[in-house]
Amino acid sequence: MRKCSFALLFVALLVVLSMGTAFAAEDVIKIGTLFPLTGPCALAGQRCQAAVETAVEVINNAHPEINVPGAAAEGVLGGKKFVLVHADHQGKPDVAKSEAERLIDQEGVYAIIGSYNSSCTKPASFVAERKQKLFMCGCSSSAALTKRDLNRFFRLAPTDETESLEFVEFIKYLNETKSAGIETVGLIYENTEFGKHAAEEGKAAAEAAGLKVVADVAFNPGATNLNSEVQTLKAADPDAVFGACLGGDYTLWVRTMKQMDWLPDVALNYCTGYQDPIIAKQLEADGDFFMGGTGYSPEFAELMPAVAAVEKIYMTKTDPSVPFDSDCIQEAIATLILAQAMEMAGTTDYDAVLKVLHETQFDSPMSLGGKVVFAPGGQNLKAMSILTQLQGGSYKRIYPLDLADTEPVVPMVAWGSR
């Protein structure tokens, strides 16, 4: 009799627990994050993850002080909370693929947000498409990602193609108004999916504008030195250089140019180490006068006032505490847009949410463009960046002219004169 009572109690307990889980499951929406949390791009990956966590905090809790759609409410669809499941792809495409499969098959996530490296976003988003899940991509910049006609892939950031066209347009402006005399271009880029695509786009844009590409320098990321690379650039002596060097490679590139006492007139960078405020600070005066496309910087506060309150939360999640950068803010926006789409669809049903994502113009006060509209293939048509130049360690807006707050310093000040 006693045994029987225990058995009944045990069964009852299991039933209660499983019901609890079932109820809990209905109240949460699992979202997978997939970033390089270890490996050479770990710094950027961890910041991207912190940005998604920040967005989820805004979505899950009532924040009436934040001027972002959905921030005032608690959760989505009447109180459902986002729960994050984190995964690390280490910067390796094969790991990204298997981790995307794990997130979908084993963790049962509703959507994946990621994956920073274009080379990892590519296979991971294929997995999501095959398994009919959403993939929200914040900052992977390879233009090829949105030329695959995927139906469930959405990318927020501008592409390398957009940035390359901006670079060339800026050079034209310099030549026409400042008699800069820029006629030749050199490319230096890491030999990865991101770097190669950026270089291809840069080359195409430069040649289309009548600029001559005189150096095409690919290097292996994480190299012990960049002496041959910079020596090759120096020998070709291009007037302008388009750079796609991430993290530690960016600092090595800058310092090797200093060591070799060489600089082009203009150095324009894709989304790279240039945008990392910590690297910019650490390089001190050596980092000055480099330029690049920037989607966000604290110096843009007057253009994007809604960011400040969200940024406060983000800064509590990073160590050392740093503001948003151009890359990670896009991951936060991707998460917020997903929540907005669910709210507009009024359901978590995939087809309904997908329809909203494809057909809606979203308000996005955290985006430089202010709005988000996805083209077929998933590219955000309203994505934009501003060309900035580091001057005195500060990102100064230099182009387009209507958004500029400072005159560009061209040619760059020589190493010996700083």
User: Which stretch of DSSP H or E encloses residue 8?
Assistant: helix 2-27
In 3D, which of 152, 78, 114, 55 has the Cα closest to residue 353? 152
Binding of residue 17 to another protein (CB under 8 A): no
Q: Cα 51 vs. chain centroid, distance in angstroms?
A: 10
Applying CB under 8 A, what is the total number of residues that bind another protein?
A: 42
Considering beta carbons, is residue 135 or 242 the nearer one to another protein?
242
Q: Mark 266-300 as b/e (b = at least 16 C-beta within 10 Å).
A: bbbbbbbbbbbbebbeebeebbbbbbbbbbbbbbb
For 86-149, give the DSSP string. Answer: EEE-TT-HHHHHHHHHHHHHTS--SEEEE-SSHHHHHHHHHHHHHTT-EEEESS---GGGGGS-
Name the minimum Å distance from CB 191 to another protein: 5
Nearer to another protein, 43 or 338 (CB): 43
Stretch that binds another protein, among 139-147, 152-160, 220-228, 373-381 (CB under 8 A): 220-228
Least separation in angstroms between residue 211's CB and another protein is 21
Q: How many other C-beta atoms are found inside a 10 Å radius of the C-beta of residue 154?
A: 28
**Closest distance to another protein from the beta carbon of 281 (Å):** 9
259 contacts another protein (rule: CB under 8 A): yes
CA end-to-end distance (rounded Å), the chain: 90
Residue 18 sits in the site that holds another protein (CB under 8 A): no
Q: Which stretch binds another protein (CB under 8 A): 128-136, 173-181, 256-264, 397-405?
A: 256-264
| Identified binder of another protein from the candidate list 102, 255, 317, 355, rule CB under 8 A | 255
Query: Under the criterion CB under 8 A, does residue 86 sit at the interface with another protein?
Result: no
- Min separation Cβ 320 and another protein, Å: 7
HSE at residue 155, side-chain half, CA atoms within 13 A, is 29
- Choosing from 132, 282, 347, 361, the residue that interacts with another protein (CB under 8 A) is 282
316 binds another protein (CB under 8 A): no
φ/ψ of residue 88, rounded to 5: -120, 120
Q: Does residue 232 bind another protein (CB under 8 A)?
A: yes
To another protein, the closest distance from the beta carbon of 227 in angstroms equals 4
CB 158 to another protein: min, Å: 24
Taking contact as CB under 8 A, which single stretch among the options 8-16, 32-40, 333-341, 360-368 is the one that binds another protein?
32-40
Residue 219 or residue 290: which is nearer to another protein going by CB? 219
Here the contacts of 389-396 (C-beta below 8 Å, separation 24 or greater) are 389/289, 389/290, 389/291, 390/274, 390/280, 390/287, 390/288, 390/289, 390/290, 390/291, 391/288, 391/289, 392/288, 393/280, 393/281, 393/284, 393/287, 393/288, 394/299, 395/280, 395/294, 395/297, 395/299, 396/299
Tell me how far apart the alpha carbons of residues 197 and 132 are, in angstroms, rounded to a whole number. 27
Instruction: Report the residue from 28, 30, 42, 360 that binds another protein according to the rule CB under 8 A.
Output: 42
Residue of 319, 321, 392, 417 interacting with another protein (CB under 8 A): 319
Select from 286, 360, 403, 413 the one that contacts another protein (CB under 8 A).
286
Dist. CA 172–CA 282, nearest whole Å: 32
228 binds another protein (CB under 8 A): yes
Tell whether residue 219 is a contact of another protein (CB under 8 A).
yes
Under the rule (CB under 8 A), what is the footprint of another protein? 38-40, 42-43, 45-46, 191, 217-220, 222-229, 231-232, 235, 247-248, 251-252, 255, 258-261, 273, 276, 278-279, 282-284, 286, 319-320
